[in-house]
Structure 1
Amino acid sequence: MSSPPSPASGEGVIEETAAARVLIVDDHEVLASSLSRVLDDEPDLVSVGIAGTLERARAMIRTTAPDVVLLDHRLPDGDGVDAIAELRALRPSMKVVVLTATASDHVLVSAVEAGASGFVSKSRSLGELTSAVRAAASGEAVISPEMLARLLPRLHRSGRPGPTDLTEREREVLGLLAEGLSNAAIAEQLVVSVHTVRNHVANLSAKLGAHSKLEALSIAVREGLLPGG
């Protein structure tokens, strides 16, 4: 019996996007376990495990290759914010979202400068936490426009001239990102497609050596690329 013919290349094939892999780093077992179950119920997200300490997080990042890490600010063996740069060095493309109960602006600024993609309060619902993970996985900054406006002026400035190869449109997009606008909102304001905005964000991020919008903004402030910088 002959085998059925194979479909022509690309014909009848539905391309599926892999679910974003999420590591939860939190020593609050009830919250972490609940969030892990909620993530696994989402078609585009999957929990790769829970780490209750920074030591365990380091090991699990190496073995599970997460796309997003939900990182508690305070852990038994250290400060989560202080460890962001070290954890991201293990997997530079990984997004880090800091879980906070209460945190000063100084702590939040340190997190931004270390490369965090944003923050989410533990007081939020599990659904809101899941939405924050999804936003981070897609490259969005997980931060309110009000908090962004408050923190950006407090970021460190190097005093060195920044990159000069950003196009006029990329600089325009960068300025709108600094206002806390999403890709869709930027597309509407510039009267272009969301796909075009994503390309501009990707290009300017590559030029700045950033892996997320918030990191791009942090670098832009440091290098004096934003008005008032």
Structure 2
Amino acid sequence: MSETSDQHDAPVRVLVVDDHEVLAASLAHVLDDEPDFLSVGVAGTLEKARSMIRSTAPDVLLLDHRLPDGDGVAAIPELLALRPSLRVVVLTASAADHVLVAAIEAGASGFLSKTRSLAEVTSAVRSAATGEAVISPEMLARLLPRLSRGGGRRHEELTEREREVLDLVADGLTNAAIAEKLVVSVHTVRNHIANLSAKLGAHSKLEALSIAVREGLLPDR
């Protein structure tokens, strides 16, 4: 999913967390060459990532799911606790579906294969920075049935329009596509997603979907 950003006057601050030094440095260099991005550095371990999140305040985190001192996916909730507005895009080589599902449920904004082109990397970062889900509709359709179910209701009720927007997010639509379908502005759609995410206690559109599935708000998925 992608959407042109109109929200960021300042550059999007990006931290790359990967223990492959050449790859991490290359990604940081490519991002720094983009006028709307600012690479705030690279980290090869979770320990360094925690420190750099505190010191550099990144907007987007490109996070390898296998690091020398731990599982990147398992660390996502802790990293989001350090900076709740952070968007986490998981870097994968050949991750199994259960790893991707765990990342969604942990609060990731999406996934990016290490084999993707540099243009796709920059597009993914832009999408994450605007709150989009970095995932193809086909992958989303495959993973939704694998999300956990039966957690019970514990959140404020969603409005009818918020449920409608959530259902369209589950269909894999971007904010722009949802806005066109509902004949509203993209800004309005973003507000609905922000409101429903706050009610569900989610850090990303994908995490909002996972909570909705778990609590039976998307029973037919």
Q: Could you say which TM-score interval applies, normalised by the shorter chain? A: over 0.9
Which of 26, 31, 42 is matched with 2:18 structurally?
26
Higher deviation after alignment, 154-163 or 65-74: 154-163
Q: Secondary structure at the match of 1:161?
A: coil
Please report the TM-score for the alignment, with normalisation by the length of structure 2: 0.92
In structure 1, distance between residues paired with 2:197 and 2:75: 23
Q: Report the Cα offset of residue 162 of structure 1.
A: 5.2
Q: Is the Cα–Cα contact under 8 Å of residues 156 and 200 in structure 2 kept in the other structure?
A: no
Q: Which residue is equivalent to 1:152?
A: 144
Which of 171, 179, 191 is matched with 1:187 structurally?
179
Higher deviation after alignment, 45-54 or 159-168: 159-168
Q: Which residue is equivalent to 1:196?
A: 188
> Are residues 81 and 159 of structure 1, via their aligned partners in 2, closer, same or farther at CA, if it must alter by over 3 Å?
closer
Q: Secondary structure at the match of 1:88?
A: helix
In structure 1, distance between residues paired with 2:184 and 2:80: 33
Q: How does 1:67-216 map to 2 (within 5 A)?
A: 67-161=59-153, 163=155, 165-216=157-208
In structure 1, distance between residues paired with 2:105 and 2:192: 22
Please report the TM-score for the alignment, with normalisation by the length of structure 1: 0.89
1:52 aligns with 2:37: no
In structure 2, distance between residues paired with 1:32 and 1:215: 26
Larger radius of gyration: 1
Q: Which residue is equivalent to 1:225?
A: 217
Q: Which residue is equivalent to 2:4?
A: none
Q: Secondary structure at the match of 2:99?
A: helix
Q: Deviations over 1:137-172 (max 9, x none)?
A: 110000111111111111112341354531111100
Q: Secondary structure at the match of 1:69?
A: strand
Unaligned ranges ≥5, structure 2 = 1-6
Higher normalized contact order (CA 8 Å, seq sep 6+, divided by chain length):
2
Q: Deviations over 1:109-151 (max 9, x none)?
A: 1111111110000000111111111111110000111111111
Higher deviation after alignment, 101-110 or 36-45: 36-45
- The residue type equivalent to 1:79 in the other structure is D
> Are residues 124 and 156 of structure 1, via their aligned partners in 2, closer, same or farther at CA, if it must alter by over 3 Å?
same
Runs of 4+ in 1 over 6 A off after TM superposition: none
In structure 1, distance between residues paired with 2:76 and 2:95: 15
* Number of aligned residue pairs: 215
In structure 2, distance between residues paired with 1:186 and 1:133: 20
Q: Is the Cα–Cα contact under 8 Å of residues 23 and 49 in structure 1 kept in the other structure?
A: yes
What percent of counterpart residues are identical?
Answer: 78
- The residue type equivalent to 1:154 in the other structure is R
Q: Deviations over 1:45-96 (max 9, x none)?
A: 1110000111111111111111111001111222211211121111111111
